[in-house]
Amino acid sequence: MRSFFYQSITLSYIKNKHKKINLIIDNCIHFCYNEYVYGSDKMESKNCFSNIDRLTYPNALVIALTKLYQFKGKDFYYEDVLKNYMDAIIKNTIEKDALYVSKIIKLNISESRTRLILKKNSEPKTNDEKILANLKNVFKIIQDKGTDFEVTSNEFLHLGITLYKGVENISYNVETKTTRPHLLEEKTKISKREVLDAEIKEFNAAIKNKNVEPTQAITNLYVDLLHLNLFNDHNQILSLIILYCLLVKERFNLFKYISFFEEYYKKIEQFRASTISAGFNWETGYSQTALLNKDIIDMLLEGYGKVEQMIANFNFDKKIKKIDNVESAILKLGEVFTREQIKQVCPQLSDSTINRALARLKDENKVRPNGTGRSASWVRLVPDELFSPKTKQMNIFDILGSEDK
């Protein structure tokens, strides 16, 4: 009993004598507990840009980027060749972007109503139809601004508000952060707009200082946007539209001529897989974004290849009459084709020109419709040599044969 009494006196003496030490220990315990349970600025999830310097450039990537920037350097040439038709081409691209986004987000709209809204600006009747009409406005904004598009949280929010105008309100999420600086918990509300502003600051610095190749920076920012859960709803499609904006901002002008979202939709499962892969280890700041970046670069290269083909077709077709362009397009498309395919081959032609050409060919018994309506396919009834003698393509054997005669 006496031993226990003296131990208590001794502990009381030590505690009073070292009061400051005890206070420091208590604070350390609370700080560590707070770090472990509630998190702090140093313990929060890192983003892709926190370790952007880790990115490497293997030989295959360097070769692909070299090809990509060779194409990009020809942007002024493409625009000069097609300058008289740019308005029609961009209008067609906007309509396609809206159409394929409607497929990505699975809007419930019939094909006839989709065409009326996109082509004729028909008044939308349902919420899904309102979103489709709004999509046209969103892509018109992006095409009009082009490289002048400002990478800011306000601009991104404006796109979201425009897309869902008349349907629902889009805003930035607000998260509640709990800390325990002392004994009591403290809760503070932080808007995800502030998180995005910090992210954009890092992105702009990386682009300005040329610390990282632009497609790499865009890929990493896109992965961050997906995981930061910035918006109160529709975070995935808004992040994808922002990805498209950033590519346009960086002067990848191929998306004036071809639809970004059509190309994305064609390989949507591949993109989904690489996007999921890019999310691994995101919380630690070591996301594996290489595969997703490769998919984006491959899509850009394939897109530029289609632009090159478009220019080649245009240079050939401008030598013949507009209505004959339709005949040459049909020859390239095969036995069965649609109006939409003709429009893809000859985007400079109006719908009325295509319709007149098809009506004339039908009267000449060279083609016939397979079905009814604008979406009906058409069938070519005569072989190549009888279809369009004026645009017959000769080969070297024809030339040699004529010389022998």
pLDDT value for 210: 84
pLDDT value for 38: 37
In degrees, rounded to 5, the angle at the alpha carbon of residue 239 between the alpha carbons of residues 270 and 298 is 35
Are 295 and 328 in the same domain?
A: no
In a domain, residue 74? The reply is yes
In a domain, residue 7? The reply is yes
The per-residue pLDDT string of the chain (405 residues; one tens digit each, 9 = 90 and over) reads 444 333 443 434 344 444 444 444 444 434 343 433 334 333 344 577 777 777 778 888 899 999 999 999 999 999 988 888 899 999 999 999 999 999 999 999 999 999 999 988 999 999 999 999 999 999 999 999 999 999 999 999 999 999 999 999 999 999 877 776 666 677 788 889 999 999 999 899 888 888 889 999 999 999 999 999 999 999 999 999 999 999 999 999 999 999 999 999 999 999 999 999 998 888 887 788 999 999 999 999 999 999 998 888 777 666 556 667 788 788 878 788 888 888 877 777 778 888 888 888 888 888 888 877 767 888 888 776 666 645 444 444 444 444 444
In a domain, residue 43? The reply is no
* Integer Cα distance of 295 and 219 in angstroms: 10
In a domain, residue 56? The reply is yes
In a domain, residue 201? The reply is yes
Are 33 and 52 in the same domain?
A: no
Are 239 and 346 in the same domain?
A: no
* Integer Cα distance of 170 and 158 in angstroms: 9
Positive/negative CA dihedral, 179, 181, 185, 187: negative
Are 181 and 304 in the same domain?
A: yes
Positive/negative CA dihedral, 126, 158, 194, 291: positive
- What confidence tens digit (pLDDT) does each residue in 118-172 have? 988 999 999 999 999 999 999 999 999 999 999 999 999 999 999 999 999 999 9
Are 309 and 326 in the same domain?
A: no
pLDDT value for 284: 81
For residue 316, the tally of other CB atoms under 10 A from its CB is 13
Are 180 and 60 in the same domain?
A: yes
Which of these three, 262, 278, 313, is where a domain ends?
Answer: 313
Owning domain of residue 29: 2-37
- Note whether 162 and 134 are within 8 A (CB): yes
**Cα distances (Å, whole numbers) of residue 377 to 3, 33, 99, 351, 374:** 102, 69, 19, 15, 8
Number of domains in the chain: 3
- What confidence tens digit (pLDDT) does each residue in 317-359 have? 665 566 677 887 888 787 888 888 888 777 777 788 888 888 8
Which of these three, 267, 294, 313, is where a domain ends?
Answer: 313
Are 302 and 333 in the same domain?
A: no
In a domain, residue 368? The reply is yes
Which one-letter amino acid corresponds to residue 371? G
The total number of residues written for the chain in this structure: 405
Which of these three, 272, 288, 313, is where a domain ends?
Answer: 313
* Integer Cα distance of 357 and 359 in angstroms: 5
* Integer Cα distance of 380 and 220 in angstroms: 48
For 380, phi then psi, to 5°, come to -85, 135
pLDDT value for 39: 40
Are 308 and 325 in the same domain?
A: no
In a domain, residue 170? The reply is yes
pLDDT value for 385: 61
- Note whether 360 and 323 are within 8 A (CB): yes
Are 17 and 105 in the same domain?
A: no
Question: Residue 328 maps to which CATH number?
Answer: 1.10.10.10
Are 150 and 242 in the same domain?
A: yes
Question: Residue 232 maps to which CATH number?
Answer: 1.10.3290.10
In a domain, residue 42? The reply is no
Are 397 and 293 in the same domain?
A: no
Are 53 and 104 in the same domain?
A: yes
Candidates 331, 53, 373; CA nearest to 210 is 53
